[in-house]
Chains A and B, each alone.
Chain A
Amino acid sequence: MKYTQGKYIITRKTAIAKEIYSFTIQCPEVAEAAQPGQFVHIRANGFTLRRPISICGIDKEKGTLRIVFEIRGEGTAEIAKLNEGDLIDMLAPLGHGFTLMPEAKKVVLIGGGIGTPPMLPLAEYYGGRATVISGFRNASAMILQEDFKKTGAETVLCTDDGSAGIHGFVTEPLKELAAKGGIDAVYACGPMPMLKNIAAICKENGIYCEISLEERMACGIGACLGCACRTVRNDEEYFAHVCKDGPVFKAEEVLF
């Protein structure tokens, strides 16, 4: 694992939904090292702590990364003030990403809300072998659906209020797919209750599952032990750290 810290130019900024922004960042050495599921740790001017943001796109040829983030508080609001041409201070790429399975015939990618962006690099990797299930509060919170379609993956859309796609949670389409069988892996990112339910469904059906977690974080590289996550490894309970051991964990290891 190799990470660096530096200031990189934002080449494209778009608002893709209410308070959700997409940045494309020119950072060849970071893009070269980045893997799906990793994150970048961004300095917010005037704040002590950096903000971890998942990687939504990796273009090694162009040397760019894409990130998509939501304004959650003052720190992300500060980052959202940056514009095209501005420099963004990143410590990246960080963390343990998703396991890519070249032999997999069918995978399911599940994103809930702002948990959908890290699924896009996976969709690009698996293409037609992937089914992407995305869940949002309502139609106006919907993001990245066109991007997912472009990858060749099958897409399933759910909203909590039925204003777009299926009226209901992402777990319903997952149950249907699981019942049909043939799924080699499920990858998911989103709110903890959603991840807990997905992990339970995968366990019941004997499907391998990886989930991406978030936690309040300080150093981002495994030194300060701030972002603890209760896990079980080798039958022993152990506080892993989201920044270094994760953000991606095997679902069976996480104690919800």
Chain B
Amino acid sequence: MADLSVKVCGVDFKNPIIPASGVFGYGREYEELFPLDKLGGIATKGTTLHRRTGNLAPRIAETPSGMLNSVGLQNPGIDHFIETELPYLLTKDLVVLANIAGSTPEECAQVAEKLEATDVHMIELNISCPNVKQGGAAFGTSCEMAAEVTRQVRKVTTKPLVVKLSPNVTSIADIAKSVEAAGADAVSLINTLLGMRIDINTGRPILRNNVGGMSGPAVFPIAVRMVWQVANAVNIPVIGMGGVSSGRDAIELMMAGASAVQVGAAIFTDPYAPVRIAEEMNEFLDSKGIASVRDIIGTVKPW
């Protein structure tokens, strides 16, 4: 039995596997299938200052080895999260990363400020949602805006601050360096890649929002490349995600430089994916005689 525990920004995770924000709600629906304490952590549904209704349907489309979504940050608002969802999650033995978003840097800071008085373990600041008109990816695609929103949130929170980055940029390493300089304690990547599908019978895009975020196994090699580039560019921990669907994928992303791994679309194919992936990681490490998963972080030997 290998040691799967990791530490990110001083926070202990019993294993490196975290369901990614958006696929897992606030955990309740999956608890019907397995105990949440099998997870290293949970990144909760992106939550804003006020309730958001989200985009019109269809919000989902299948793609080769993946999918598109354009949910548009539908959520009940931060007050509901703090009163109803967070206390429940905090009774579980796992790390809670509260994923937050906003239309302006000020709104993001207001949301973070409300979490300051809670016992939430970490904040994951989403500057990369491709499905909302204001804020979202607009923050994540310029170094200046990414730094500004990070600075504003940093000012109001002492919680470990993870900034979630967009892959829809020319140099994700430059964005990562900007948010590191602005006070981020870690970065998580990649959010979804902007994509589109068209129903050729009707000539209409499948998504009502026309475009949406692509995820699933198809994006995995991009995630590996970006995690590797960012891990080489910054001195803060990297939480990797993007198309991870097996223990081997998770090991690969950690070798590229990730200290922990989020799992997204794979959960739709196999609802037990996060639990299975942790078990598969253990099997791989045992088969190689590696005592701790920490020993593989960033160990890729580039040519």
Contact = CB atoms under 8 A, between A and B. Distances in A.
Interface of A: 1-5, 43, 47-50, 74-75, 91, 215-219, 221-230, 237-239, 244
B49 interface: no
A217 B60 contact: yes
B182 interface: no
A4 B33 contact: yes
B268 A221 contact: no
A238 B272 contact: no
Which of A43, A47, A74, A218 has the most B CB atoms < 10 Å from its CB?
Answer: A218
A224 B271 contact: no
A228 B59 contact: yes
Given A48-B269, A224-B25, A238 B216 contact: no
- The 6 A-B residue pairs with the shortest CB-CB distance, nearest first, are A223-B25, A226-B60, A223-B29, A216-B60, A221-B29, A228-B57
B30 A3 contact: no
Contacts of A74: 62
Contacts of A226: 59-60, 69, 71
26 contacts: A2-B32, A3-B32, A5-B271, A47-B269, A48-B62, A48-B65, A48-B217, A48-B268, A49-B67, A218-B67, A219-B23, A219-B268, A221-B30, A223-B23, A224-B24, A224-B69, A225-B25, A225-B54, A225-B74, A226-B60, A228-B54, A228-B56, A228-B57, A237-B53, A238-B53, A244-B29
A212 to B, nearest CB: 16
A1 B28 CA distance: 12
A227 B57 CA distance: 7
Contacts of A219: 23, 29, 267-268, 271
A216 B212 CA distance: 14
Contacts of B269: 43, 47-50
Interface string B57-73: 11111110111010100
Given A49-B60, A217-B60, A224 B23 contact: yes
B265 interface: yes
Nearest to A5: B271
Contacts of B45: 225
Contacts of B55: 228
Given A47-B269, A225-B74, A227-B59, 9 more contacts: A5-B272, A48-B216, A48-B217, A91-B271, A219-B23, A219-B268, A225-B25, A237-B53, A239-B54
Nearest to A228: B57
B53 A239 contact: yes
B129 to A, nearest CB: 13
B234 to A, nearest CB: 30
A123 B62 CA distance: 34
A222 to B, nearest CB: 5
Contact of B24 (A2, A91, A223): A223
Interface residues of B, number: 36
Contacts of B57: 215-216, 227-229
Given A224-B22, A226-B60, A48 B66 contact: yes
Nearest to A91: B271
Interface of B: 22-25, 29-30, 32-33, 45, 53-63, 65-67, 69, 71, 74, 206, 216-217, 265, 267-272
Which of B25, B74, B267, B268 has the most A CB atoms < 10 Å from its CB?
Answer: B268
A74 B61 CA distance: 13
B195 to A, nearest CB: 13
B197 to A, nearest CB: 11
B242 to A, nearest CB: 13
Contacts of B59: 216, 225-228
Contacts of B67: 48-49, 218
Given A216-B60, A227-B59, A222 B268 contact: no
B38 to A, nearest CB: 15
B52 to A, nearest CB: 10
B224 to A, nearest CB: 18
A221 B30 CA distance: 8
A204 to B, nearest CB: 27
A207 B237 CA distance: 61
A222 B60 contact: no
Contacts of A221: 29-30, 32, 271
Nearest to B27: A223
Nearest to B23: A224
Given A227-B57, A228-B57, A75 B62 contact: yes
B32 A47 contact: no
Which of A4, A43, A47, A227 has the most B CB atoms < 10 Å from its CB?
Answer: A47
Contacts of A47: 62, 269
Contacts of B23: 218-219, 223-224
B33 A215 contact: no
A75 B268 CA distance: 14
Contacts of B268: 48-50, 218-219, 224
Contacts of B60: 49, 216-218, 226-227
B191 to A, nearest CB: 15
Contacts of A75: 62
Nearest to B73: A225
